[in-house]
Structure 1
Amino acid sequence: MARNTIQSGVLDSIGLSIVEQRYPPGHVFRSEDWETEFDVSRTVLREALKVLESMRLISMRRKVGITVLPETQWNVFDPRVIRWRLLSADRQRQIHSLTELRLAVEPVAARNAASRAASVDRVALLYHATQLENAGVEADLERLHHNDVAFHRLLLAASGNELFLALSELVAEVLPVTGHLVHDTIPEQQTAPPRHLHTIAAQAIVDGDATAAEQAMRELLVEVQEQMDLAYQRRSDS
């Protein structure tokens, strides 16, 4: 097994354990504890711990050890932290937080794209939106996710705002998770919801109609939020 693969496995294992609070905030470890647990070299473990420290999940201090930090100090925008939270028992809260963030950002991104996007990006947005809308109920789920992720990543890039663009990896992490949740829990509704609003938003961007683009994207995300609430309500009732 390659060294990078070993390091990645250690990183995922410790990171997920911290996110799930199997290692509670304030708990202090020694590196030797994890060297034994994972049966890895000190060098591999040190590299993994440095990554976790950069995410603010842990603090490493000489003569103190490795201290697990509270959630309030985590770099919650790191895609790996998001991935671990989506895999944890805290998934519902993470999805809710990410959807609220998207609701604050993506309508403005759509508005900006209507006036700033290059012609090729406008066409690409409409293409991905059309692929979503025209897919049948029995469409391949992974293909839907591909077009959904491509649409939203391109929307953030086409906004012309570098801070919005920096959120594209975050969006790419959450979309397949929410898509599977809706597909598995609310089978009577189309996956990659709501498909038609993607097309309305994309067409408004093509037409340069900033107000319509913003409105369609806001409606889209409100509907996504409502479907998430319904999905979790059904799960709690079952």
Structure 2
Amino acid sequence: MPTSLHQQAVDHLGSRIIDGSVLPGEVVLASELEDELGFSRSVIREAVRVLASAGLVVSTKRVGIKVQPAEHWNPFDPLVIRWRLASEGQGAQLRSLTELRVAVEPMAAELAAEHAPAEFCAELLNLAARMRHAGREGDLDSFLELDIRFHALVLAASGNEMFANLAHPIGETLRGRTELGLMPEHPHEEALAWHQGVADAISAHDPKRARESMELIMRRTVQEIYEVWAHKPRLFPRPVR
């Protein structure tokens, strides 16, 4: 199955569900999607599986593809995050994920300073040095990938597998900020130093300094993008029973 066709089908329906073009409770027929997109039934079927795994739809025999309300969506799914960042829900999405990062990443850094294996420490030091070089050169593409890897490694170095599994949604957020022009053209020297500080503190097994350095990074992140969500209403989804 051509990956490009599969991804087009996923993006076509998924983005329309997220932006409200297709409303919760609506039923979409696979035959309609085949006609509209010109794709085979197998491509549509696989796309529906992906959307169902993210909680956006439920497929029922003799009924069709039923769109699920937002409380059923998986807010940690990278595709859901990407589509929300491209929609009117951009501000609320950035706020939710930034608040999650503020809550989790300083604790992850503290735990990493207590428990990280030596190879994790060495890689963090290497990534921090490369980030500083890319940031000073204004190479935002390289900086972005290094930044994503750095934060993913801190989460993994905590020794908490649930923290580690936040790497994908956080990475998608960092990509979204860059694509939306919400990152500084040249990363601030302070931010570069704080990333180095996190790596140094983890390698030195200094939990207090690791947490404090990561808190500084998170505080700067909030300051940089707060205006994007400042006047957006908060979301109060009903718990799914």
Distance 1:24 1:191 in 2: 42
Q: Which moved more, 1:191-200 or 1:10-19?
A: 191-200
* Superposition deviation, residue 138 in structure 1: 4.3
Distance 1:116 1:101 in 2: 22
Q: Identify the match of residue 222 of structure 2 among 212, 220, 225.
A: 225
Distance 1:101 1:33 in 2: 39
1:113-158 Cα shifts (integer Å, max 9, x gaps) = 1011111211211222223334454421111112211111111111
* Superposition deviation, residue 89 in structure 1: 2.7
| Matched residue, 2:96 | 97
Structure 2 unaligned blocks of 5 or more: 231-241
* Superposition deviation, residue 96 in structure 1: 1.3
Distance 1:164 1:176 in 2: 19
Distance 1:192 1:89 in 2: 32
Give the TM-score normalised by the residue count of structure 2.
0.87
| Mapped contact 1:145–1:192 kept (Cα < 8 A) | no
Q: Which runs of 4+ in 1 moved over 4 A?
A: 134-138, 230-233
* Closer/same/farther in 2, CA of residues 191 and 141 from structure 1, 3 Å limit: farther
* Closer/same/farther in 2, CA of residues 232 and 191 from structure 1, 3 Å limit: farther
| Matched residue, 2:20 | 21
| Mapped contact 2:92–2:229 kept (Cα < 8 A) | no
1:33 is matched by which residue type in structure 2? E
Distance 1:191 1:23 in 2: 41
1:199 lines up with 2:172 in the alignment:
no
1:211 lines up with 2:208 in the alignment:
yes
Structure 1 unaligned blocks of 5 or more: 234-238
Equivalence map 1:67-82=2 (5 Å)? 67-82=66-81
Distance 1:136 1:55 in 2: 34
| Mapped contact 1:113–1:160 kept (Cα < 8 A) | yes
3-state SS of 2:75 partner: coil
1:190 is matched by which residue type in structure 2? P
Distance 2:173 2:188 in 1: 14
1:122 is matched by which residue type in structure 2? C
1:54 is matched by which residue type in structure 2? S
| Mapped contact 1:60–1:66 kept (Cα < 8 A) | yes
Give the TM-score normalised by the residue count of structure 1.
0.88
2:11 is matched by which residue type in structure 1? D
| Matched residue, 2:237 | none
Distance 2:175 2:113 in 1: 26
Distance 2:62 2:134 in 1: 59
* Closer/same/farther in 2, CA of residues 222 and 39 from structure 1, 3 Å limit: same
1:9 is matched by which residue type in structure 2? Q
* Superposition deviation, residue 192 in structure 1: 9.3
2:219 is matched by which residue type in structure 1? V
Root-mean-square deviation over aligned CA pairs: 2.1
Distance 2:135 2:212 in 1: 26
Distance 1:88 1:172 in 2: 18
* Superposition deviation, residue 112 in structure 1: 0.8
Equivalence map 1:33-72=2 (5 Å)? 33-72=32-71
2:182 is matched by which residue type in structure 1? V
Distance 1:102 1:62 in 2: 40
| Mapped contact 2:29–2:64 kept (Cα < 8 A) | yes
* Superposition deviation, residue 14 in structure 1: 0.8
